[in-house]
Chains A and B, each alone.
Chain A
Amino acid sequence: MMTDQTTPEDFIHDKGDHYSHIKGWGIDFDNKNDPTYPIKKRNNAEHQGYSWPRPPQQQETVEILKSVERPNLTAVYGTSNPPAGLSGVIRRYAFKYSESSYGRWLPLMLADRINMVEGVVGDIAKGHLPNIAKELGLGSEWKYNKRSMIAKSILAGVAIGVLAYRLCYNKKNK
């Protein structure tokens, strides 16, 4: 992997006096008339472009999927759970699209669901049988909402029973 080589100088674009030919340009400017006040201390730094002295670049030790709306990696980033497996393939595909596209977000949602199945398979492959009830937090449901939990369990049991009966009945009739 190649660590990002861009420098602030690559992005400098000084607007200078480009508006000096427009008579009256900025004459009514009122820096207090700023709907972002007070959440932004306006200094127009972004008018200088992407040219600030960047922090040192974190070394790339894992695969990072970068937004196509950026020219480079940010100076730091998280390294948890790099893309892998089928979900990783879908994530790489999704990152070909901009953040404004359904092509970016819907495949990522699909990848998340596939990743869930990959997680279960991965757990079992490592010899770890997931304790689904504990992961779902059913302990707190039992502790604080016992009556509802029992009612739901009975309802689910009846529904499964009816479904099983129907399946058996259909098989017999065939």
Chain B
Amino acid sequence: MNYRGPYRVRADKDAPLPEILHPQDAIVQVLRSCICGSDLHLYHGLVPDTRVGSTFGHEFIGKVVEVGSAIENLKVGDRVMVPFNIACGKCAFCRQELYGNCHESNPEATAVGGIFGYSHTAGGYAGGQAEYVRVPYADVGPTVIPEWMDPDDAVLLTDVVPTGYQAAEMAGIQPGDTVVVFGAGPIGIMAAKCAWLFGAGRVIIIDQVDYRLEFAERYAQCEAVNFRSIGDPVAFIKTITDSLGADVCIDAVGCEAAGNTMNTLLGRYLMLQGGSTTALHWAINSVKKGGIVSIVGVYGPINSLVPIGNVVNKGITIRANQASVKRLLPKLIEHVQAGILNPKELITHRVPLEEVGDAYHLFSSKLDNCIKTVLIPPAV
């Protein structure tokens, strides 16, 4: 996959094969990769330092075909799921299981750790929407796929499931809490599903796309509300919570939120802030006093307008992070094995990697009721 500029990607058949560049590298032959909602921020040209020629893709599984001289935990032939974070396992942050905040994987920015296929702002690594990928620190992140696990489940454990789960985990949900999730994309749907695992008493998901809301209602067994049909979403949430507000709000939208003209103009079209902050506005203003706002939606690195005065006045705790995939994987694998989580049900489309342009447009424009697209390399 080769990025050529906003809204333009193509498949290149003559892309050079990756090489081992470090003793802790492995080369993985990709078996499946996904297009993530956050890939659309790259595709739409919203992430600074997204260079032409880049290969996206941070959700992938594959087969190990070569290992560096220092690799001990993997061998050629292993089938692995590769967390989207590139983590050294040794720095002060990795040692505290903040694998999404590694300090030894991204020379180009300190605020974000290395991420596969996510611009030079996230380290300039080639991503998994390819046939082969270089995987740094291969002894740390990649996890061998259990024999019993469906590859479609495995590929979604590299980002979607851990990010949705961590959104609910960071929200500090207490038994009986009302949880409002903004965004019915794959992450928001998974966050809604996982909110129940922490004891939520009521889960409401809010979006503007009806087919996604219908899917979320069915898959996550939650209430689904189209914000186009309720007037002011903040007033609506206050109405259904005795005017107190939700106990917890989750922003699973990020920088391309719709619903507010000024935010859309400043954040998406003029790019004068790190994206449209509409969902975050709604989350801050909808949560109760002393409540928690959990953010997993992706925003750009520059300033963004948020109602910080209300954060102070309401005593809100904001918790946010990139998911720490490696920390969460053992628990999530158990949940999949037990049938508590069924990630593969999110997949609605399978597209050959050679048709990556169509796949991006399909997902970006929400055509054919698309929820999640998987790219299949030609050799698979």
A136-172: which residues lie under 8 A (CB-CB) from chain B?
136-141, 143-145
17 A-B pairs besides A72-B107, A81-B120, A136-B8 with CB distance below 8 A are A46-B92, A50-B103, A52-B92, A55-B88, A65-B108, A77-B124, A81-B54, A105-B301, A108-B121, A111-B49, A112-B51, A119-B4, A134-B10, A135-B357, A136-B357, A139-B355, A145-B367
Q: Tell me which residues across on chain A come within 8 A of B25, comparing CB atoms.
A: 76
Least CB distance, A9 to chain B, in whole angstroms: 16
Query: In the complex, what residue of chain B is closest to A36 when comparing beta carbons?
Result: B319
Contact of B367 among A41, A123, A141 (CB under 8 A): A141
Asked if residues A80 and B54 are in contact (CB atoms below 8 Å), the reply is: yes
Asked if residues B124 and A78 are in contact (CB atoms below 8 Å), the reply is: yes
A interface residues, Cβ below 8 angstroms from B: 35-36, 38-43, 45-46, 48, 50, 52-56, 58-59, 61, 64-67, 69-70, 72-81, 83, 87, 91, 95, 99, 102, 104-106, 108-109, 111-113, 115-116, 118-120, 123, 130-132, 134-141, 143-145
Identify which of B21, B324, B359 gathers the most chain A CB atoms within 10 Å of its CB.
B21
Contact of B4 among A65, A78, A130 (CB under 8 A): A130
Asked if residues B321 and A39 are in contact (CB atoms below 8 Å), the reply is: yes
Q: Tell me which residues across on chain B come within 8 A of A74, comparing CB atoms.
A: 103-107, 114, 123
Q: Which one of B93-101, B145-153, B179-187 is at the interface?
A: B93-101
B125 contacts chain A at the CB level, 8 A cutoff:
yes
* Main SS class of interface, B: loop
- Give the docked Cα–Cα distance between A136 and B327 (Å): 37
Query: In the complex, what residue of chain A is closest to B110 when comparing beta carbons?
Result: A69
Asked if residues B169 and A81 are in contact (CB atoms below 8 Å), the reply is: no
Q: Tell me which residues across on chain A come within 8 A of B8, comparing CB atoms.
A: 116, 130, 132, 135-136
Query: In the complex, what residue of chain A is closest to B357 when comparing beta carbons?
Result: A137
B22 contacts chain A at the CB level, 8 A cutoff:
yes
30 interchain pairs (CB within 8 A)? Answer: A39-B327, A58-B21, A65-B107, A65-B120, A66-B108, A67-B109, A74-B103, A74-B104, A74-B105, A74-B106, A76-B105, A78-B125, A80-B124, A81-B124, A91-B49, A95-B108, A99-B110, A102-B302, A109-B48, A111-B49, A112-B49, A112-B50, A116-B4, A116-B8, A119-B53, A130-B4, A140-B362, A143-B368, A144-B367, A145-B367
